[in-house]
Every structure is written in structure tokens, then in C-alpha cells.
Amino acid sequence: MLLKSKFKLATAIGIVLSMLSLLVHLFLANYSAGGITRYSLHMDDVLPFGPRPRPRRLWGSLSTLDHLHPYAKPRKIYPAPDYHNGFIYAKIYGGFEKIQSSICDLVAVARLLNATLVIPEIQATTRAKGISSKFKSFSYLYDEDQFISALSSDVAIVRGLPKDLREARKKIKFPTVSPKNSATPEYYVTEVLPKLSKSKVIGIIINGGKCLQSILPATLEEFQRLRCRVAFHALKFRPEIRALGNQIVSRLRVSGRPYLAYHPGLLRDTLAFHGCAELFQDIHTELIQYRRNQMIKRGTVKEQLSVDSVSRKINGSCPLMPEEVGLLLQALGYPSTTIIYLAGSETFGGQRILIPLRAMYANLVDRTSVCSQRELSDLVGPEAPLASDMAHPPPPKTEKELVDEWKRAGPRPRPLPPPPARPYYAHEKVGWYGWIGENDTEPDPSPVEFRRQAHRLLWDALDYFVSVEADAFFPGFHNDGSGWPDYSSLIMGHRLYQTPSGITYRPDRKTISALFENVSDHRYHPPRNWTLAARQHLNNSASVEGIVKSAMLSKPVSFLAHPLPECSCRTPKSPGVQSTKDSHGRLLFGGEEECPDWMVRSLAMVSTKNNEPQNEDYDGDLPEDDSSQDTQQESDRSDMNKSSEQDEEMDPDD
């Protein structure tokens, strides 16, 4: 009996200890879950490492560009006609980058013609597209009051035409013009101004995003600064967008760690224009080719439908794939815990194409990761409900209905014919591309799709704000050669104006493609010399060398992509920088004027406050094989110059 009591006691003690052990394990698991990346509103759960010092090589400012500062104020009085010529109203078609560029051109045109500019109409955000009645067209994205007041000394801007002229416009009594891409100032003076003087009102319809040429004559230098004042000071997003953008930035930096913004540039229209369909598979290739065929019929593309996408990729005409961007960031030394913000409202291929990048960098987030659905819906505003464009499954039939249907079918022939093919209902089609399996033509956009297009402008504006404020920016596609403004180039130009010394990579896709071709057999474990070559190229792309090379391609297309030297100044004690000119003798870099005295004094005061001891580089999060290099950038560059015989890990295929 005593033996049984001891056995029961031991069993009870064992059960109690097992329960305590289980509770301890659950407790530890609960508090160690912060080390696993989760996509939630609380970024401290995503980033469990706490505040860490920034490695200077990855996040620090570039000393070669510290002397540049934004300065877009007028330097002299630029001439305007002596009398008021009338009103200009405009309709703008296109995406966010075309809208941003077109508005800046419109203000310059209004100043050139000495006309009053009516707030432009953004066609993708008109109320006919189903947006909230709370907003007008322009106010859906931008702050109207800021736009008018910031340009009050340059151009007269009104919210609408006077009542009598408004009625005449409804009756189509005023002429309209649709300027060609990159129209010259002479075109407006000789063609548009006479019509404006005669009718006192003229409409301008802009489709390509560029109604005025990028590089203006030297006599119109003040008009270039006017463009900068419009783009970087007057065109402020409405307060709700700015507030949510600031919240996203603060959440990304909540642990004191910097973040990198990345725009893939994988847009269906872009891929179709450049013939990059074969980079994708299955239905995505068909979708790109269908859009390319449409462009050929409209005359936008003057090539054959099928082209060699691999040769286009090698030539640098196609975007970098997210997988390649992840490998390049690893070559630069960014640790796997780096926060990467995915910008842009559209990434063709969806989440599937981001899987390799997310495997390398688990902290890949976007606006849906750091914002709640309520915050995003508040940004959109109250909208009237629309019928969904996704069809619902047919209601199930009762047994009686099935029997009645069978009886109504009549006598069956013998033998019975083969049954018809199973119909595919709309609800069974996955995604918006389900039409391609049944029809040869893409269906017309539904009202819901028009509303989504307006929403995409909001998401692009929000991501633009976050990308400009980022500690580093990496474009997947810029300087695409299409002749239209592109999203990444506008961000890079804004960063070059606002923080010239910030880290902004400008990779040459042709050079990158050659690098990947040389290491195709062991891409995921590249040799040391490949890593050094990739790192050297990307570091150079972020410096003066990359700025000048990118300017030669981007400035002729969009002035806002490279607003130097017109919209910046240099401090008197700046290092001697050699001026760089293009083939036409125009300055691209190094010809900036000296900053005014009041600006130099204020910069000196700010510099004094910031001259406090700061943390140096750290090696904790960097790969072991690169830990010694992260604090010795100059050593890396010297290694690049070594011959192949001196490289212990030289690969014959590299």
C-alpha cells in the first residue's frame, strides 16, 4: 500500500513537472517569436534587433556631393509679355510620372505665354471614374492651396474659368491643341499664342507626359528653375497623403534602423514596349504580347511583335528582375535583415516574382504591410458602392428544379451525343487576366477597374513620398529609352535635388547583364572577384561618375530626372569639381553657382549642431566573408585593380 502511494506521488510530481516544462517552453516561444519576420502594423515585431549604428559605406552620405545644396529661387528677373493673354486649361492623361512631369511643363508654358493657368484636370481622377465626391480632379493628389500660393509670384493660377467662359467651354467654343512630345518654346509662341490671343481661352490636351522639351535654351534658364519650384515645392501632396507617408517612414525607422526603397519597374506597358515578354512564363508572356500588339497597331511600337527578349535583356533594355536585385544588394554588403520598401502600385507577375528577393531579404515590405486597411481606405475617401466586376457563382438548384429541367429536356436520341464541354464561369477565373483563355480581345475596363486606376495614382504618390525620404534608393528600371518620363527617374531627380549626398544607385543594366552572364553557372555563390566587380560598379553609380553618366541619358528626356546644375548651388569651400558637359556643350555637373551668403550661414549653423560624435561602421549584421571589407572600402577598390593571378578565388568563367 505504501509502495502504491509513493508511485502515485511520483507520477503526480512528473505530471506537474511536465506541465511546468510545457508552460516554460510556450513562454519562451512566445517571446522569441519576435525574431521571425512578420508583416504587421507594428514594425518593432518585424525588426527585433533594436537601434544599431549605420555602416557608413552603405548608408552614409557621399563626401564628394556634400557641397551641393538645393536652390531653385530665381537668380534674375526673367522676361514675360507685357499684357495678359488669356486662360489655359489642360487635360492630362497617363500615370503618375506623366502627370507630375506634365504639370511642371504646363506652368512653364503658362509663364511663357503670360496666361492664367486653370488648375489642370487629371483625367484618371475625374468623378466620372468613380472617385470620392470629396475630391476634385487635381485635389485627389495635390494640395491646391499650396500649388496656388507657392507660384503666386510666377504664374497666375485659378481654380476654374469665370462663369461666362465656363459656359462657352461646355459648348466647345474654344480651340484645343495637343502638342507633340517635347514641343519647343517656338511652337507655343508661333502656334499656340495667336490662338490664345484671339479666343482668350485655349485648351491643351497632354497624352505623353511631355508638352515642353526637357532642355531649354540658355536664355530660358529661369524657366528650368521654375520647373524645379513646381515639382519640388509647389506640387505638395494633399495633407492625408503626406501624413500617411510620414507614418510609414516613422514605422520603417521605428527601431532606429535605416531602410532602402526599391522600385522594380515591372510594368506591363514597359515590358511590352521593350519586348521583354520571354522573361516571363505562361499566361504572363501572352498578356505582354497582347499589349505589344496593341502598341504596334497604334504606332507606338514600330517593330515586329516577336523579338528576342534575351538579347534585349543583355542590351539593357529590360528591367532587372527582383532576384538579380537581391544578389546585387548582397554583393554590396547589405545584410539579410535590411528593411526594403517595395514602391510602385504595380509589379507585373505579382508576389510570385518577388519570392526570390523575399527569400534573401525577409524584411521586404510595402504599403499594405505597414499600413492598416482602414488607413488606406481613409486615404481613398468615401466612395459610392459599385457592382463588383467579379461574377458570382450561379445559385445551386434544388432537387425539384433539377428534375423539372430533366423532364423539359424531351426525349433523348439513342445513342446519346457526347456531352458539351464544361462551361467556365467568371468566378472560376483567377485574376483579371482570365479572359485570355476564352477570348482573343481584352474586355473593356469596368467601372471598378477605372476606380482602381485612380487608386493606383494614390499608391504611386504615397510610395513616391516614402522613396524620396528613404536612406537609400535602388531602381529596377530607369532611363528606359522610351522617351517618356519614368517613375524611378523622377524619384532619383527629386533625391538629387533634395539630398544630393544621399545614397541613390544608378545601375547600368547592360553592365549588370554582362556580370550575370559571366557568373551564370554559380550565380548564388559567386566568386570574390565577381562580388568586387558588382560592388565597384554600384558604388561608382552612386557617385559623381554615375550621376554624369545617368544625366546624359535622362536629362534629354526629363529635366526633373537631373535638375543640375540649374537648381542647385555649391558652398564656397567646396572641393574643386571638374565641370562636365554633354555633346552639345551644355553643363551636366560642376557648373553650379555659389550659394548666397544667408544660405551659407544657415548651413554652417546646421553643420555645427550635427558635428557630434557618431557611431562608426558595424560588422555585426554583415556576412562573415565580407566583415573585414565593410570598414575598408578603399581596400575593396584596391583589390579590384589586382590582376587575376593575385586573386586566390579567381574563377575561369568570371
Which CATH topology does 74-236 take? Rossmann fold (3.40.50)
Name the one residue in this structure whose C-alpha cell is 507594428: 42
Cell of 359: 527569400
As a whole number, mean pLDDT of residues 499-507 equals 92
Compute how many other C-beta atoms are within 10 angstroms of the C-beta atom of residue 168: 16
For the cut 90, the answer to whether the pLDDT of residue 386 exceeds it is no
As a whole number, mean pLDDT of residues 193-205 equals 93
As a whole number, mean pLDDT of residues 515-533 equals 75
Question: What is the distance between the alpha carbons of residues 289 and 447, in angstroms, rounded to a whole number?
Answer: 25
* Alpha-helical regions (H) of 174-238: 185-187, 193-199, 221-229
Q: Give the per-residue pLDDT at 524.
A: 59
From residue 79, how far is each of 83, 215, 565 by CA, in Å?
A: 12, 18, 21
Residue-wise pLDDT for 611-653, tens only, equals 444 433 333 333 333 433 343 443 343 343 333 333 333 333 3
Instruction: For residue 124, give the DSSP letter.
Output: G
- Which residues pair with residue 70 across a beta bridge? 568
Question: What is the distance between the alpha carbons of residues 259 and 252, in angstroms, rounded to a whole number?
Answer: 7
Q: Please report which confidence band the pLDDT of residue 474 belongs to, taking 50, 70 and 90 as the band edges.
A: very high
Q: Give the per-residue pLDDT at 208.
A: 79
Question: What is the distance between the alpha carbons of residues 319 and 265, in angstroms, rounded to a whole number?
Answer: 6
Question: What is the distance between the alpha carbons of residues 159 and 437, in angstroms, rounded to a whole number?
Answer: 47
Helix, strand, coil percentages in the chain from 3-state DSSP, rounded to 5: 50, 10, 45
Domain limits of the chain? Answer: 74-236, 241-382+448-589
Q: Residue 454: exposed, middle, or buried by beta-carbon count in 10 A (0-12, 13-18, 19+)?
A: buried
Q: Give the per-residue pLDDT at 441.
A: 78
Least reliable range by pLDDT among 174-183, 425-434, 470-479, 578-587: 425-434
Q: Give the per-residue pLDDT at 458.
A: 94
Asked if 357 contacts 364 with a C-beta cutoff of 8 angstroms, the reply is yes
Q: Which amino acid is at 240?
A: E
Asked if 425 contacts 392 with a C-beta cutoff of 8 angstroms, the reply is no
Residue 224's nearest CA partner among 496, 561, 487, 563 is: 563
Question: What is the distance between the alpha carbons of residues 50 and 80, in angstroms, rounded to a whole number?
Answer: 56
3-state secondary structure of 510: helix
Q: Hey, which bits of 404-484 come out as E strands? A: 472-475
For the cut 60, the answer to whether the pLDDT of residue 136 exceeds it is yes
For the cut 70, the answer to whether the pLDDT of residue 74 exceeds it is yes
Q: Please report which confidence band the pLDDT of residue 449 belongs to, taking 50, 70 and 90 as the band edges.
A: confident
Residue 342's nearest CA partner among 330, 329, 354, 327 is: 354
Compute how many other C-beta atoms are within 10 angstroms of the C-beta atom of residue 97: 22
Residue 128's nearest CA partner among 475, 451, 421, 557 is: 451
Residue 177, phi then psi, degrees to nearest 5: -130, 150
Residue 639, phi then psi, degrees to nearest 5: -60, -30
As a whole number, mean pLDDT of residues 248-253 equals 94
Instruction: For residue 562, give the DSSP letter.
Output: -
For the cut 60, the answer to whether the pLDDT of residue 537 exceeds it is yes
Q: In this structure, are strands 121-122 and 157-158 parallel, antiparallel, or unpaired?
A: unpaired
* Three-class HEC string of 534-545: HHHHHHHHCCHH
Contact partners, residue 334, CB within 8 Å, separation at least 6 = 58, 260, 361
Most confident of 2-6, 173-177, 248-252: 248-252
Asked if 220 contacts 185 with a C-beta cutoff of 8 angstroms, the reply is yes
Q: Residue 285: exposed, middle, or buried by beta-carbon count in 10 A (0-12, 13-18, 19+)?
A: middle
- Which residues pair with residue 475 across a beta bridge? 263
Q: Please report which confidence band the pLDDT of residue 419 belongs to, taking 50, 70 and 90 as the band edges.
A: confident
Asked if 544 contacts 65 with a C-beta cutoff of 8 angstroms, the reply is yes
Q: Hey, which bits of 328-431 come out as E strands? A: 339-342, 364-365
Residue 125's nearest CA partner among 466, 380, 490 is: 380
Residue-wise pLDDT for 593-611, tens only, equals 888 888 887 777 766 555 4
Residue-wise pLDDT for 280-307, tens only, equals 877 888 889 999 999 999 888 888 888 9
Contact partners, residue 637, CB within 8 Å, separation at least 6 = 536, 539
As a whole number, mean pLDDT of residues 386-408 equals 77
Name the one residue in this structure whose C-alpha cell is 500660393: 149
* Alpha-helical regions (H) of 355-508: 355-360, 367-370, 373-380, 399-408, 447-468, 487-498
Q: Give the per-residue pLDDT at 41.
A: 35
As a whole number, mean pLDDT of residues 424-432 equals 53
Q: Give the per-residue pLDDT at 622.
A: 35
Find out whether the peptide bond into 415 is cis, omega within 30 degrees of 0: yes
Question: What is the distance between the alpha carbons of residues 410 and 379, in angstroms, rounded to a whole number?
Answer: 58
* Cα 424 versus chain centre, distance: 37
Q: Give the per-residue pLDDT at 481.
A: 78
State the helix-helix crossing angle for 528-541 and 633-640, rounded to 10 degrees.
110
Mean residue pLDDT across the chain: 81
Residue-wise pLDDT for 151-162, tens only, equals 998 999 999 999
Name the one residue in this structure whose C-alpha cell is 519614368: 486
* Cα 370 versus chain centre, distance: 17
Name the one residue in this structure whose C-alpha cell is 593571378: 645
Residue-wise pLDDT for 35-61, tens only, equals 333 344 334 334 444 445 567 778 888
- Which residues pair with residue 117 across a beta bridge? 88, 157
Decide which of 356 and 78 is more confident. 356
- Which residues pair with residue 261 across a beta bridge? 341, 473
For the cut 70, the answer to whether the pLDDT of residue 472 exceeds it is yes
Compute how many other C-beta atoms are within 10 angstroms of the C-beta atom of residue 111: 21
What is the Cα gyration radius of the chain? 30
Least reliable range by pLDDT among 78-87, 198-207, 292-301, 532-541: 78-87
Q: Give the per-residue pLDDT at 209.
A: 81
For the cut 70, the answer to whether the pLDDT of residue 13 exceeds it is yes
- For residue 15, the surrounding DSSP H or E stretch is helix 2-32
Decide which of 626 and 544 is more confident. 544
Name the one residue in this structure whose C-alpha cell is 554582362: 514
For the cut 70, the answer to whether the pLDDT of residue 3 exceeds it is no
Give me the percent of the chain exceeding a pLDDT of 70.
79
From residue 556, how far is each of 195, 213, 214, 270 by CA, in Å?
A: 29, 8, 6, 19
Compute how many other C-beta atoms are within 10 angstroms of the C-beta atom of residue 597: 9
As a whole number, mean pLDDT of residues 445-463 equals 90
CA-angle at 307, arms to 302 and 309, nearest 5°: 125
Q: Hey, which bits of 2-74 come out as E strands? A: 68-70
Burial 170-184 (b: 16+ CB within 10 A, else e): eeeebeebebeebbe
Q: Give the per-residue pLDDT at 230.
A: 95
- For residue 87, the surrounding DSSP H or E stretch is strand 87-92
Most confident of 259-263, 382-386, 452-456, 587-591: 259-263
Cell of 162: 469665370
Decide which of 527 and 242 is more confident. 242
